[in-house]
Amino acid sequence: MKLLVVDDEPTLRMGFAYALSNDRRLAETASNGREALAKLQEKEFDLLLVDLRMPDIDGLGVVKHLRKDGRMIPVILCSAFITIERALQAIRLGVVDFLMKPVKPADLREAVDTVLAPPETPLARALEAGRRCRMDAAAKALEPLAAPDPREAAWLKIFQVLSRMKADEEALQRLPERLLDQIAFRGEDAA
C-alpha cells in the first residue's frame, strides 16, 4: 500500500512517514502542494495525508486538482486550526477525515487504519459515503440512529445540510463553529 504525506514542516513530514511506514505500507513524502501533485501524477496512492496550510498550493488546492481529474483517493486533512467554512469546503470535496495537530503516532496510525479498513458502524458507513461525495447516502446511513452520540449527531447535521445544500448557502453559514470539535478524528484514548 502506498501513502503520500504532504507537509511543509520537514520534521513532521519525516515523523509522519516514519510512523506510518511498516512492512505492509510505504509512505512517501512531498514538501508542498506542487510536488505532491507531481508525485500523484506519476503514480497511484491509496491514501493522501495532506496539511491544510501550505505555502503555494494548500491542502484543499491539492484535493481540488485531484477531484477535477476525477480521482477519488481518500484524503486525511491535517491541520492545527480549521474554520467551519474550510471544513465544509473539504467535506464537499469528499474529505471527511480531519486530524487535528498535534497528533500522537498511535492516533495517526489509528486514523489511517480506520480510513483504509472502515469498521462496520453506521458512522463509518456514512463517512465512507461522504468520501465518495454522496452526501444524501451519508445522511441516510445516520438517520435511522435512535440515540446518536454528539459526533454522530454533528455528522448527521452536516450531511443533511450538504445533501440539500445546493440552493441553501445560508444554512451552511449558520452551522456552529463548535461542530469542528466533533467531526475531527479522535483516537480511543482521547475521549
Partner 1 sequence: MLRTRLRYALFTLVILLWAVSAAGLMLLNDAGERVQSELRANYSVVADAHNFRVACSVLNNYYLTTLAEPQGERPLDRVLFDETRRRIEQRLEGVAAVAVGRPRWEEVVARFRAVLEQYFEGYEGLIRGDVVGRQDRSDLLKAMGGLTQRITDLSENLASLAEERLFAAADALSKEKTKNTLFILTLAGLGTAIAGLIYYQLVRQLVDPVAGLKHSIDEVKRGNFEMTVSVPTRDSEFASLATAFNEMAAELRLRRRETDESLLRNTLVNRALLAAIPSPVYVISEDGEIVQLNPAAEDLNDKLGISPRLPKKVARLLESCRQRDSSLLPEDPREALLFRIDEREFYFLPRIFRFSSELDEHTGWAILLHDVSRIRWLDDMKTNMLSTVSHEIKTPLTGIRMVLHLLLEENAGTLSEMQRTMLASANDDCERLLETLKQLLDLSRAESGAPQLDRRAVDLLELAQQSVSLFRPQAGARGIRFRVATEDDLPPVFADNLRLSEVINNLVSNAVKHTPDNSEVVVEIARHGSEFLRLCVSDEGAGIPEEFQDRIFERFFRAPGQKTDGVGLGLFICREIMRAHEGRIGVKERNEEQPTVFFVDVPLA
- Number of other CB atoms surrounding residue 50 within 10 Å: 26
Site for partner 1 contains 188 (CB under 8 A): no
Site for partner 1 contains 151 (CB under 8 A): no
Binding to partner 1, residues 95-124 (CB under 8 A): 101-105, 108
Q: Which residues contact 17 (CB under 8 A, 6 or more apart)?
A: 5, 27, 28, 29
Site for partner 1 contains 82 (CB under 8 A): no
Closer to partner 1 by Cβ: residue 62 or 82: 82
Site for partner 1 contains 190 (CB under 8 A): no
| CA dihedral sign, ordered 151, 191, 24, 117 | negative
Binding to partner 1, residues 10-49 (CB under 8 A): 10-16, 18-19
> Least distance from C-beta 80 to partner 1, angstroms?
5
- Cα-based distances in Å from 2 to 103, 171, 181: 21, 38, 29
Using the contact rule CB under 8 A, the part of the chain among 6-14, 29-37, 88-96, 133-141 near partner 1 is: 6-14
- Bond prior to 102 in cis (omega within 30° of 0): yes
Q: Which three cell numbers stand for residue 138?
A: 451519508
Interacting residues with partner 1 (CB under 8 A): 9-16, 18-19, 53, 80-81, 101-105, 108, 176-178, 181
